[in-house]
């Protein structure tokens, strides 16, 4: 039995019966990594000896962590040269919650530098490949987490989602990616990109695993001022109820000109399936969607330029050896340490926040963000959830969009609105193209109503075979 190919809940059942051990699971994953990761480049920090030591000492399931979530004394670099060698002196709250469940921390996964990207091509460790086609990107910025789960190098993994960075790679790699409501999961120990948008999320093989992992990492945390003190439901039990009578909105703004025809058809077929399961689907409008990309790339870059000001060669990470004086050290360290995309976003953000431009750009973006949020609030007065594609196209070829940042930014056109509004969203497989590339279905829900979107996803998953497909790598 190839234990690495099983879901977390299947492994839990075998462990409860005493049929397997935690060491057996870790060995199966290690074998898979040995065979596949030289081709995939999904994992950037992995120590076999340390993993087996933990497996012998702890009685939980193995989990991989995105490289921007702090693990005490473990390399945590945001896949950037400027944090080379950085080992945090503390654990993120989600890591403490996992360790409280005896989780076996396997190591770190590759990502776009500081989560700036939609393709995992901006990492200082090199590009991660899509396990369905090694010439294509896995999505980003949590591409390493999505790829290793899809390729059965991991049972499940954590990622972060600022504008779709969990859902978009999940859609392109054919796994389940969940972005919780802003405030549901503590951000303490997540190295910040854009603080009003960032949220830690999950990448899993199926919906039941997403429900289990969400329950583990959720809950109020006094270390995070944006963490909300609300009860955390037992999602894994609640999602198994049917979806008869649920009203689902289908926004016309998410079926745009230029969208891949096979993606569109797969999503329309999924909507028909949901109707056959008892849900009522109606066309709706979210009128301010057209401004979402512009708003996002003002708000996100402004917050990023502020957050990344701390990386200056003084306290941690890289310090230029060529510097003459403090000012020169700041300039040279940041020049050498940040990649092109990071520099681009810092410059854009600094411009938006600069004197004379703040009101015209950043402040106006915040006002339009409020309108986008209101669109969702109005829709959720009538509908239980909103159904959209996750991405307008399947995974594209490596290098195809690196010279055209604007085209790359449009890859997140269907996912960023959820971050601007702070609502939860989940992506799951809903079909494959003729080239055998996964297509993602996105389900968006009311704030703190992860239960409903996971319930819809679970019922759809049970009625289809898409989640059972495995890449040939």
* Residue 39 is among the residues annotated as catalytic for this protein: no
* Residue 391 is among the residues annotated as catalytic for this protein: no
* Residue 227 is among the residues annotated as catalytic for this protein: no
Residue 256: Cβ-neighbour burial (10 angstroms; 0-12, 13-18, 19+): middle
Q: How far is residue 453's CA from residue 114's CA, in Å, rounded to a whole number?
A: 28
For 256, residues 6+ apart whose C-beta sits below 8 A from its C-beta are 392, 413
> Please, are residues 318 and 83 in contact by the beta-carbon 8 Å criterion?
yes
> Please, are residues 172 and 138 in contact by the beta-carbon 8 Å criterion?
yes
Which residue in the list 118, 123, 145, 165 is annotated as catalytic? Answer: 165
Q: What does the angle CA 301 – CA 305 – CA 309 come to, to the nearest 5 degrees?
A: 165
How far is residue 41 from each of residues 139, 200, 311, measured CA to CA in Å?
A: 13, 22, 26
Q: How far is residue 10's CA from residue 384's CA, in Å, rounded to a whole number?
A: 30
The gap between the terminal CA atoms of the chain, to the nearest Å, is: 18
Is residue 377 left, alpha or beta, with left meaning phi > 0 and alpha meaning psi from -120 to 50? alpha
Which residue in the list 141, 145, 186, 227 is annotated as catalytic? Answer: 141
Q: How far is residue 386's CA from residue 404's CA, in Å, rounded to a whole number?
A: 31
318: its two tokens = 């890289």
Q: How far is residue 451's CA from residue 211's CA, in Å, rounded to a whole number?
A: 8
> Please, are residues 406 and 296 in contact by the beta-carbon 8 Å criterion?
no
Q: Tell me how far the alpha carbon of residue 163 is from its chain's centroid.
A: 9
Which residue in the list 28, 36, 66, 80 is annotated as catalytic? Answer: 66
Q: Which residues are catalytic?
A: 66, 141, 165
């Amino acid at each position: 039995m190839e234990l690495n190919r099983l879901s977390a809940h299947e492994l839990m059942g075998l462990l409860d019966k005493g049929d397997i051990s935690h060491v057996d699971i870790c060995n199966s994953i290690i074998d898979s990594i040995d065979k596949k990761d030289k081709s995939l480049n999904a994992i950037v920090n992995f120590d076999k000896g340390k993993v087996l030591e933990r497996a012998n000492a702890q009685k939980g399931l193995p989990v991989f962590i995105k490289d921007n979530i702090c693990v005490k004394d473990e390399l945590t670099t945001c896949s950037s040269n400027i944090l080379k060698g950085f080992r945090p002196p503390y654990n993120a709250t989600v890591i403490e919650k996992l360790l409280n469940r005896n989780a076996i921390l396997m190591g770190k996964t590759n990502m776009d530098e500081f989560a700036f990207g939609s393709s995992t091509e901006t990492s200082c460790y090199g590009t991660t490949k899509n396990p369905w086609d090694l010439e294509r990107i896995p999505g980003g910025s949590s591409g390493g987490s999505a790829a290793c789960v899809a390729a059965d190098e991991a049972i499940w993994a954590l990622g972060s989602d600022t504008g779709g960075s969990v859902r978009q790679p999940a859609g392109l790699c054919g796994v389940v990616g969940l972005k919780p409501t802003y405030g549901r999961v503590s951000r303490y120990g997540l190295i910040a990109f854009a603080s009003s948008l960032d949220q830690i999320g999950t990448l899993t093989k199926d919906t039941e695993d997403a429900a289990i992992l969400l329950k583990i990492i959720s809950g109020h945390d006094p270390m995070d001022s944006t963490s909300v003190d609300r009860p955390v439901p037992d999602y894994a039990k609640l999602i198994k109820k049917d979806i008869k009578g649920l009203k689902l909105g289908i926004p016309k703004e998410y079926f745009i000109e230029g969208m891949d025809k096979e993606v569109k058809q797969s999503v329309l077929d999924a909507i028909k399936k949901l109707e056959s399961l008892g849900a009522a689907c109606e066309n709706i409008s979210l009128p301010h969607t057209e401004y979402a990309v512009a708003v996002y790339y003002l708000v996100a870059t402004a917050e990023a330029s502020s957050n990344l000001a701390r990386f200056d060669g003084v306290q941690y990470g890289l310090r230029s050896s060529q510097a003459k004086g403090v000012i020169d050290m700041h300039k040279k360290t940041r020049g050498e340490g940040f990649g092109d995309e990071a520099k681009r976003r810092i410059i854009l953000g600094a411009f938006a926040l600069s004197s004379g431009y703040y009101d015209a750009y950043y402040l106006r973006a915040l006002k339009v963000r409020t309108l986008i949020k209101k669109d969702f609030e109005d829709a959720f007065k009538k509908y239980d959830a909103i159904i959209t594609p996750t991405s307008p196209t399947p995974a594209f070829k490596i290098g195809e969009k690196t010279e055209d940042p604007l085209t790359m930014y449009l890859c997140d056109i269907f996912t960023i609105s959820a971050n601007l509004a702070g609502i939860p969203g989940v992506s799951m497989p809903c079909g494959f193209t003729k080239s055998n590339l996964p297509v993602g279905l996105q389900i968006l829900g009311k704030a703190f109503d992860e239960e409903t979107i996971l319930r819809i996803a679970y019922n759809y998953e049970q009625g289809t075979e898409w989640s059972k497909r495995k890449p040939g790598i």
